[in-house]
């Protein structure tokens, strides 16, 4: 076998370097493509949630999530990332929907009542007959700063406020029927200032609802950390969506 000439050796060396450069360029491009796009987060309320209604004599009322509809599984909270992400830069975050109920009845105006906390900023996508909001509310939202650049995700910090409605209905009756209302008014504003960074993934959690109505943008919170009285986790599908007459929840598995 003849030894490589200097020209041949240099050519092969150059080819290897060019190949590595191309691979690095492609890898960098792939990482850049991991930035989330505009989309929605489907979340569910976790234990420990409450609302302070001392202003109407009820004190701190423990709350639980109410699934918005069967097609969204356990979703009771929807957040909206309104634009495509640039890593490390704050961007707009809106609260699209919120549906919660007191864990037990309270006494209000000498009668038993259930407390509902609602917010419907869906521009009619979720009908008021499903998620009522009888009062005009100040905007709910703020900013979110997403960091990452890795194909698997990264971290984020959010800073937002929530302005919801409080509706009191006769205990055991439906909040979707105004005839059941005892009273309603805007609830006190709740702030969720930044806390230590939460983590996010580019991959949907097991059982996460798939929906074209509120599509994800490649941003799935996995460990949520914030300061405020409303701990949440990601929503999941459940058997409830398979009941007759209800749209089934389809998960991203």
What are the two backbone dihedrals, phi and then psi, of residue 219, each rounded to the nearest 5 degrees?
A: -125, 110
Task: Tell which phi-psi region holds residue 218, choosing left (phi > 0), alpha (psi between -120 and 50) or beta.
Answer: left
Q: Judging by DSSP bridges, how do beta strands 165-170 and 153-162 pair with one another?
A: unpaired
Distance CA 104, CA 63 (A): 8
> Is residue 21 in some structural domain?
no
pLDDT for 75 beyond 60: yes
Can you tell me the distance from the alpha carbon of 239 to that of 70, in angstroms, rounded to the nearest whole number? 9
Q: How far is CA 220 from CA 61, 134, 153, 162, 246, in A?
A: 29, 31, 9, 21, 26
Report yes or no on 49 lying in a domain.
Answer: yes
What residues make up the domain containing 80?
Answer: 38-251
* Total number of domains in the chain: 1
Tally of CB atoms within 10 A around 1: 3
Q: What angle do CA 147, 75, 246 make, to 5 degrees?
A: 145
Asked whether residue 33 is assigned to any structural domain, the reply reads no
Whether 64 maps to a domain, the answer reads: yes
Q: Is-contact 139 118, C-beta < 8 A?
A: no
- Phi, psi values for residue 109, rounded to 5°: 50, 45
Identify the band that residue 238 occupies on the pLDDT scale cut at 50, 70 and 90: confident
Structural domain includes residue 28: no
Asked if residue 22 belongs to a domain, the reply is no
Start-to-end Cα distance in the chain: 55
Q: Which two tokens stand for residue 38?
A: 């505009």
Kindly indicate the confidence band of residue 62, based on its pLDDT and cuts at 50, 70 and 90. Answer: very high
Answer yes or no: is pLDDT of 97 > 80. Answer: yes
Whether 142 is in a domain gets the answer: yes
Gyration radius of the chain's alpha carbons: 24
Q: Which of 156-160, 167-171, 178-182, 228-232 has the lowest mean pLDDT?
A: 228-232
Strand pairing of 198-201 and 165-170?
unpaired
Q: What is the pTM of this model?
A: 0.83
Backbone φ and ψ for 90, nearest 5 degrees, come out as -60, 145
- Structural contact between residues 197 and 155, judged by C-beta atoms closer than 8 angstroms: yes
Task: Assess if residue 55 is contained within a domain.
Answer: yes
Neighbouring-strand partners of residue 26? none
Q: What's the pLDDT at 78?
A: 98
The C-alpha angle 10, 12, 13, rounded to 5 degrees, equals 60
Q: What is the pLDDT of residues 14-56, one digit of tens each?
A: 443 333 343 343 444 444 446 999 999 999 999 999 999 999 9
pLDDT of residue 69: 95
Angstrom distance (rounded) from CA 170 to CA 179: 9
Place of tokens 């609602």: 118
């Amino acid at each position: 076998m003849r030894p490589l000439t200097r020209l041949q050796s240099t050519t092969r060396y150059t080819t290897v370097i060019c190949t590595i450069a191309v691979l690095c360029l492609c890898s960098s491009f792939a990482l850049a493509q991991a930035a989330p796009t505009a989309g929605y987060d489907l979340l569910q309320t976790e234990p420990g949630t409450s609302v302070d209604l001392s202003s109407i004599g009820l004190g701190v009322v423990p709350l639980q999530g109410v699934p918005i509809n069967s097609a969204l599984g356990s979703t009771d909270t929807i957040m909206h990332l309104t634009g495509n992400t640039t890593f490390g830069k704050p961007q707009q975050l809106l609260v699209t929907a919120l549906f919660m109920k007191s864990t037990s009845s309270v006494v209000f105006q000498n009668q038993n009542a259930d407390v509902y906390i609602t917010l419907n900023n869906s521009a009619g996508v979720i009908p008021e007959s499903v998620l009522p909001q009888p009062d005009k509310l100040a905007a709910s939202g703020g900013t979110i700063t997403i960091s990452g650049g890795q194909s698997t995700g990264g971290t984020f910090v959010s800073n937002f406020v929530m302005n919801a409605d409080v509706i009191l209905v006769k205990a055991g009756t439906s909040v979707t029927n105004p005839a059941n209302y005892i009273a309603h008014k805007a609830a006190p504003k709740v702030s969720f200032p930044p806390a230590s960074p939460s983590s996010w993934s580019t991959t949907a959690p097991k059982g996460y609802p798939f929906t074209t109505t509120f599509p994800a943008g490649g941003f799935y919170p996995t460990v949520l950390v914030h300061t405020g009285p409303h701990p949440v986790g990601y929503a999941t599908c459940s058997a409830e969506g398979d009941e007759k007459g209800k749209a089934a929840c389809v998960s991203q598995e």
